[in-house]
Structure 1
Amino acid sequence: MTVLAPNMPMKGASSGLAVDPKRLETLHRPYQDFRRRSDGGGAWRNLPLEVAHQFRRYYFFNPPKWRVWARTLGSSQRMEPSFASIGAVRSGTSFLSSYILQHPHVVLPLSKEISFTDTMRELMAHFPTLAAQKAAERRNGGAVTGYCTPVMRNPLWIFLAKSMFPNLRIVCVLRDPVERTFSHWRWDRKRFMNRRGKDPHWKGFPDFETFIETEMATIRGGGMEPHAFSGARAGYLRHSIYAPFMRILFEQFGRDRVFIVDAADFFEDPQSTAKRIYAFLGLPEVEPLLIEERNPGPSGELDDGVREDLAAFFQPYNEELYALLDKDFGWGAR
């Protein structure tokens, strides 16, 4: 396997590099599929049987198992990822990936989100071949690969990633915990709760305020909180407590290998954020194409009283993070 150090200048880098609009089409199609899965109910079940779906160049997540198995036969001849873009669920990781992966030097993995709990051969099967790397180097002057996934809140990823790819550079997006928590809840309500709520077994499922109050009480009491439907096995509040994860990340990889993205800044000016990330990854300067958000969540308004309670709950955790990062995000201020 070949590792391309992302902090080294790329041979053949040219100021004439430009994003290929066809790359954006490739990146956009998986989101269309994912929205069909999220919005279409039973209609999604037939999608994996479509011939086109079986042979796509790039997937949102979960490519056909036979494709992964077939690619394991050549796993030893594949690129190692030089970067990973991570964050908690509903932090903007998918939107951010659309900017990172559009850079001409980034050779696309088989899927945006890759399960780090697979075997090494299965994991490496998602990455491009060395032949694809060489072709990209000839075409664009350089080649790297990586992946983007909402892996927070699971610190196990940190240890496994460090043991497999010690030179990895990590882009970590952090979103206001109150906004992220409510967005996560709305997303799960749309994808899971609304459908399950039609079954008598789920008729007693609590509303957002009751659920959050329960989670607050269990966290404060040192117990196990109720889990969110999506993301790592943790609650909606726990997903938004960043400092413990970040501390371990710094200990294992070092601060100089971690680039922190403020989700609010990114949403306001994604192109500028993307260019700073390109520089952090050692990629030549290129002007990213402005795109619409690929995976927005359902709309909704948070009650002011609940917002205040959430802000008060997160305040000590946020202050711990601010001290760790030496940066005050101003979360909770309205």
Structure 2
Amino acid sequence: MSIVSSELDTPILSVDPKRLATIQTPYQDFNRLSRASGALEALPLRAKRQFRSYYFFNPPKWRVRARALSGGERMEPSFASIGAVRSGTSFLSSYIFQHPHVVLPLSKEIAFTETMRELMAHFPTRAAQRAAERQNGGAITGYCTPVMPNPLWIFLAKSMFPNMRIICVLRDPVERTFSHWRWDQKRFVSRKSQDPHWKGFPDFETLIEAEKATIRGGGMEPHAFSGARAGYLRHSIYAPFLRLLFEKFGRDRVFIVDAAAFFRDPRATAKQIYEFLGLPKVEPLVIEERNTGPDGALDDRLRADLAEFFRPYNDELYALLDKDFGWGAR
């Protein structure tokens, strides 16, 4: 969508509100399904979901397979927006995907462990690219997924799309860790709480103490239900992942997003990302609906204890990025 400036008589891109509705619908689907009281209530929601043009994550398998069989050349992703679970990756994707030059993939999140044919089926066809170029003057595509801290993604992404640009969002480790645990409690653990097999599932403090001990001792920590196959604390230790990311893609191809700054002024961050991706200037629309997690307050003592645990890891990150995020300073 574009308008014409009366002063310069040149086209100026603007966000199509219909696109924003397309981006936000999968979140509404997800929330409705999460609140459904049973299979009968969920059935019509799942049926409607089969035919969306864009998904939050896990599109119907038959859609992916049908696209894989349809043939035709597809666009390669120009960018990937990544981070750890509960860092703001979903909210950030809604701003990135607003830009008229970004042709939407089938799904925001793409499982990089799929076959190349299945993975490419998520991306738009070259015909869709040409149509977008005619309409808006340019077209790129990409995807947004919480892959940190899994280093395997870096190796596979580099081998598949070596020229891709990476946007990486980093959130205060203490806030992210607790938010991740609350999210898993709501989505997974609470559903199992009445089963006797799960009666011994530890509370947050017990689980975190066990993970700290295994990290310090070089053992395998208890992993989170969502995200990478790693623990809640491990998801918040960023420097090792970023060091490898810089080695493989180059520091100049990685844009670091401070989640706190993004949450304060998402449109300003979005415009910086548009510039990083080489996209023309656009004023993004404000998004009210976020992929928020369940409510909960972290005990001050536990907060201080976690801040102390993360301190050396944060210092390592600050040195790597030459930037102090001020995490733990309260």
TM-score (norm 1): 0.93
Match of 1:18 among 5, 8, 14: 14
Alpha-carbon distance in structure 2 between the residues aligned to 1:60 and 1:132 = 20
Match of 2:5 in 1: none
SS at match of 2:133: helix
Alpha-carbon distance in structure 2 between the residues aligned to 1:77 and 1:107 = 15
| Matched AA of 1:250 | F
Match of 2:282 in 1: 286
Match of 1:70 in 2: 66
Match of 1:164 in 2: 160
Match of 1:60 in 2: 56
8 Å Cα contact 1:87/1:150 also seen in 2: yes
Pair 1:46 & 2:43 matched: yes
| Percent pairwise identity | 79
Alignment map for 1:81-230 (pairs within 5 Å): 81-230=77-226
SS at match of 2:38: helix
8 Å Cα contact 1:48/1:64 also seen in 2: no
Paired residues in the alignment total: 320
How much is the aligned-residue C-alpha RMSD, in angstroms? Answer: 1.3
Of structures 1 and 2, the one with the larger relative CO (CA 8 A, separation 6+) is 1
| CA shift in 2, pair 1:75/1:87, >3 Å | farther
TM-score (norm 2): 0.94
Structure 1 runs of 4+ aligned residues shifted over 3 Å read 41-45
How much has 1:33 moved relative to structure 2? Answer: 1.4
Alignment map for 1:213-292 (pairs within 5 Å): 213-292=209-288
SS at match of 2:163: coil
Match of 2:310 in 1: 314
8 Å Cα contact 1:136/1:143 also seen in 2: yes
Match of 1:27 among 23, 29, 36: 23
| CA shift in 2, pair 1:119/1:45, >3 Å | farther
How much has 1:73 moved relative to structure 2? Answer: 2.3
SS at match of 1:123: helix
8 Å Cα contact 1:54/1:64 also seen in 2: yes
Alpha-carbon distance in structure 1 between the residues aligned to 2:319 and 2:11 = 39
Match of 1:330 among 305, 326, 329: 326
8 Å Cα contact 2:82/2:145 also seen in 1: yes
Match of 1:299 in 2: 295
| CA shift in 2, pair 1:176/1:41, >3 Å | farther
SS at match of 1:309: helix
8 Å Cα contact 1:15/1:286 also seen in 2: no
Structure 2 gaps of 5+ residues are: 1-9
Alpha-carbon distance in structure 2 between the residues aligned to 1:58 and 1:78 = 16
Structure 1 gaps of 5+ residues are: 1-13
How much has 1:74 moved relative to structure 2? Answer: 4.0
Alpha-carbon distance in structure 2 between the residues aligned to 1:155 and 1:125 = 24
Q: Which moved more, 1:170-179 or 1:56-65?
A: 56-65
Q: Which moved more, 1:135-144 or 1:209-218?
A: 209-218
| Matched AA of 1:142 | G
Alpha-carbon distance in structure 2 between the residues aligned to 1:285 and 1:41 = 44
How much has 1:76 moved relative to structure 2? Answer: 4.8
8 Å Cα contact 1:171/1:260 also seen in 2: yes
How much has 1:194 moved relative to structure 2? Answer: 1.1
Match of 1:10 in 2: none
How much has 1:45 moved relative to structure 2? Answer: 5.2
How much has 1:53 moved relative to structure 2? Answer: 2.0
Deviation string for 1:295-325 (max 9, x for gaps)?
Answer: 0011111001000110000000000000111
